[in-house]
Structure 1
Amino acid sequence: MMSTKVSSFLSKKKNEVLRNLEKLSSFSFTSPDSNRLDSTVVQFVKRTERLTFVFQLDFNGRNRSNSFEVNTHGYRRYKWMDWFITINFLINLMRFSVLIYGSSDSVSFYLGDTLFHFKDRHVLLMYSTAAFVIMFIFREWILNLNAKGKFEILSAWRVCFNGFNSTNLQMNNLVAKRFRSAIFMYTIISHNVMLSVPLFAVCLFLIPLISNPWTYEIPELAFFGLLWSIPTIFLFTFLLNAVIGFAWYNVCSIYFDLFRLYDLVHSADDLNHWPVNEKQVRSFCVVIIRHLNNFEAISHKFRYLQLSYFIIFAVAADFDLFLGMIVKIYNEFFANLFTILGFFSLITLGTFGLIFGNFISQLDKLTMKLHQLTTKSKFSMSTSNKILEIMDRATGPYNGVKIGDFVTLEKRFFVSFILENISILMLFICNIGPLIH
């Protein structure tokens, strides 16, 4: 009787395992529904856009009107949240300045000096002041450009909010799927980072207060330190998420134009394998020139902003790594927070540089394919001029981001810049680290 029960139990378990394996195998070798995946990505993109609205980045990318929100002096009109953030920034700026240059203990108590009587106090206060000033300037710069209607050119990727249809995107199915994957991965990273910034800010500003032994001996320091930490955390969260939110919006729009160019590279390859007439080649050249103009217009309008993003983020990442890994500022846990932030910033910039350089390299392939097309066919003067225009704009030192009238950052700049940062950091580790320890 017992053996019968055991055998029936084992039989049930065996059948259950077999059913699970069958489900797993069918899931592994079955491609997901493209429409369902499209809707998932679109929902996630819209959710990230709503998150930028929460942090006061109303780009109006999909609902851009011709009426720009500027006052008589050409500056954007402030809303109540803008006034709140600006007043909070000015108060914290004055507070940090008094804490840096002041020496009175009673003033430090009432201003909530969480770094009271710590050896790294001045370094962290000066770094915090510089970070707040830079982030506030970036936010005002971004929102002022938006108020003047400069972001209207970035709204071309609004077609993605209706789905990643290859016809609407003007890409073939393979390139559209790759574009969808790139947008999805970058959106996931940006969304999660923006959600984790408040928690990171809480740890960054409350850990010094909790770990400071003077906090438990001086009631005024504990009370005012906690009281001042609340608006500081709020300000840091809104300023940093404003910078991250615009970076997400800007990079997605750049990806859109780059993937369109990438699709045209594949189309040029098809032109070399199939017989085409001159009318098809001319229309193909017109499309390429239009997409090149769109990409260059974005690069031209936001060249200084993008360059400032890249340099300031790279310098901040180096400084975070220096404070966290070499100096090991304040305590072990606090230093690890700086190290994580520095590594993440540097890796993000390096990844963007590699992806951007890879897309720019596709223009070199476009030049070779157009050259092959011209050698096999005889075109009229107007068609040949369009092909030569594309080849001239896609080769040589024109590849990259043009800064001003004389300077062009080539595709190698982004990779070499990151490598130079890493090499400088290694020199600091090898030469300065032992002296500090």
Structure 2
Amino acid sequence: MALNVLSKQKNYVLEKLSSFPFTVPNSNEFDLTVCKLVQRTERLTAFFQLDFNGPSQSNSSAVNAFGYRRYKWMDWFITINCLITYTKFVALGFSTSDSVAFYLGDSLFRAKDGQAIYIYGSIMISMLFVFREWILNLNAKGSFEILSAWKVCFNGFDSTNLQMNNLVAKRFRFTIFLFSIFTQNVLLSMPFCSALIYIIPCLSNPWIYKVPKLAFFCSVWSFPIIFVFTLLFSTAFGFFWYIVCSICFHLFRLYDLLHSADDLNHRLVDGKQLRSFCVSIIHQLNNFEVVSHKFRYLLLCYLLIFAAVGDFDIFLGTIVKVYNESVANLFAFLGFSILLSLGTFGLIFGNFISKLNRLTVKLHQLSTKNRLTMRTANMVLEIMDRAAGPYNGIKIGDLLTLEKSFGITFILENISALMLFICNIGPLIHTANLSNQN
């Protein structure tokens, strides 16, 4: 009985989150506010060197003779800083020399698990740098021209231009408003978070106050390290904003067709109207599948990279307890936040996509009320098969599909991975700590 109550409560919450009925009044002032917010968020991604045309994508390439994007002076500056920071982290991760630690500004000098943190940092820099270059190189080749479909939002959320009814257009506008505010705050707070992660170990290390040379070089090295981590994480999150907004645009168009199917069920329709409606559904399903297919490997990289970062942060913060209690709690908080965000994203979008199954019911009701020609019947059957099929959803790589149960499965898989870490590596770390104390 209790399980049934919990299941009903969960379905009710997911229904509210996925349909967003709590929309604001349809005012011109709010419409203008959302447009300015979207434009401001796009300018913010450009400020963090996401060299991206956004909604103005085209097929024009900006690549050199070798097939790679053309580097500007800022690209060279970012690349050089990434290489310098990566080299520093690798050197400090494997070196035991005090002189090397002083000149490289080792903020974790003689600290517990300092080398493990530097090796982890070097892996993160290499993955995020390769990911950034991959995104910008694909963009330079015109691979993301499909993002130009939602450029109509930059001039207003008119229901006619969006090809949605007023209610769905308001919900779509409110969704973009919420996610743009979240993205903007994350991008603005990224420099402060990067500085905080670097400064806390420095201020809590007693050797900083005993060795002036170490304190001086830690201050000098703080600028490239904070710069690199801010740029790399901002690029990853800024492009995620583009992807989510583009997917939402196509999903809400499909959601509008569900409303249209409800309306058609309450009045008489002829074969021509039903064929026109089926053509619209097939067209929107094709557009959605193209977007899903285009971003499937990028979404897979997002999932793998950030899930691994979240798991490892929790492992370092709760099991290893790196450095001191403050730094360990910071790692644990970041890890839980990352996994919670990914799981929430999977739950909301998975439940939203599962609503497409209602197309099968609505079209079946329409087909029973009307005598269909062979051509119209084939269209209806095609839509019913695609809406009820097992491949319906956002593609993540070639094997995974974001559906209703994906978020729960993702959270359970990460819990299982953490348990494996705890059971297999935890005792070894505990034994090593005891031997060091002795």
The reply to whether TM is greater than 0.5 is: yes
The yes-or-no answer on 1:135 pairing with 2:128 is yes
- Structure 2 contact 396–402 (Cα < 8 Å) conserved: no
- What amino acid does structure 1 have at the position aligned with 2:160? T
Which residue, 307, 310, 317 being the options, matches 1:314? Answer: 307
Partner of 1:277: 270
SS at match of 2:144: helix
Q: Which runs of 5+ in 2 are unaligned?
A: 1-23, 434-438
Matched AA of 2:168: V
- Counterpart for residue 24 of structure 1: none
Give the structure, 1 or 2, with the largest relative contact order (CA under 8 Å, sep 6 or more).
2
Confirm or deny that 1:327 pairs with 2:323: no
Aligned residue number for residue 370 of structure 1: 363
The amino acid across from 1:79 in the alignment is K
For 1:409, the equivalent position in structure 2 comes to 401
**Superposed displacement of residue 238, structure 1:** 0.4
Answer yes or no: is the 8 Å Cα contact 2:54–2:242 preserved in 1: no
Contact 2:250 2:288 in 1 (8 A): yes
Q: Tell whether 2:209 aligns with 1:216.
A: yes
Q: Is the 8 A contact 1:367 1:394 kept in 2?
A: yes
Residue of structure 2 equivalent to 1:247: 240
Asked whether the 8 Å contact 2:59–2:145 carries over to 1, the reply is no
Equivalent residue in structure 1 for 2:255, among 262, 265, 270 = 262
Q: How many residues align?
A: 406
1:67 pairs with 2:60:
yes
Structure 1 counterpart of 2:374, which letter? M
Query: Is 1:93–2:90 an aligned residue pair?
Result: no
CA distance 1:347–1:403, change in 2 (3 Å): closer
CA apart distance, 1:245: 0.1
**Counterpart contact for 2:346–2:407, Cα < 8 Å:** yes
Identify if the C-alpha distance between structure 1 residues 267 and 33 changes in structure 2 by more than 3 Å, giving closer, same or farther: closer
In the alignment, the residues of structure 2 paired with residue 65 and residue 425 of structure 1 have an alpha-carbon distance, to the nearest angstrom, of 43
Q: Report whether the alignment pairs 1:118 with 2:111.
A: yes
User: Partner residue of 1:201?
Assistant: 194
C-alpha contact (below 8 Å) 2:344/2:407 kept by paired residues: no
> What TM-score does the superposition give when structure 1 sets the normalisation length?
0.88
Offset at residue 125 of structure 1 (A)? 0.5
Say if 2:316 and 2:322, in contact at 8 Å, map to a contact too: yes
- Give 3-state SS (helix, strand or coil) of 1:398's partner: coil
Q: Which letter maps to 2:322?
A: I
Deviation at 1:327, TM superposition (A): 2.6
- TM-score (structure 2 length as normaliser): 0.88
Alpha-carbon offset, residue 230 of structure 1: 0.7
Q: Matches of 2:138 and 2:167 in 1, distance apart?
A: 35
CA RMSD for the aligned pairs?
2.0
Name the CA shift for 1:72/1:62 in 2 (closer, same or farther; >3 Å).
same
Decide whether the 8 Å contact of 2:299 with 2:397 is kept in 1.
Answer: no
Q: Hey, what does 1:23 align to over in structure 2?
A: none
d(CA) in 2 for partners of 1:401, 1:166: 25
Task: Supply the distance in 1 between the matched residues of 2:140 and 2:421 (Cα, whole angstroms).
Answer: 43
Secondary structure in structure 2 of the residue aligned to 1:391: helix
Letter of the 2:279 partner, please give it: V
- Displacement of 1:402 in angstroms is 4.3
| Structure 1 residue 66 displacement after superposition | 3.7
Q: Which moved more, 1:111-120 or 1:241-250?
A: 111-120
Task: State the AA in 2 paired with 1:161.
Answer: F
Q: How many percent of aligned residue pairs carry the same amino acid?
A: 64
Report the Cα offset of residue 208 of structure 1: 1.3
Instruction: Identify which of 153, 156, 160 aligns with 1:160.
Output: 153
Compare CA radii of gyration and give the structure with the larger one: 1
Q: Deviations over 1:399-418 (max 9, x none)?
A: 2344676x352513333112
The match for 2:77 among 70, 84, 93 is 84
User: Aligned pair in 2 of structure 1 residues 404, 418: CA closer, same or farther (>3 Å)?
Assistant: closer
The letter of the residue matching 2:324 is: N
Distance 1:254 1:188, change over 3 A: same
- Where structure 1 has 5 or more consecutive residues not aligned to the other structure, the ranges are 1-30
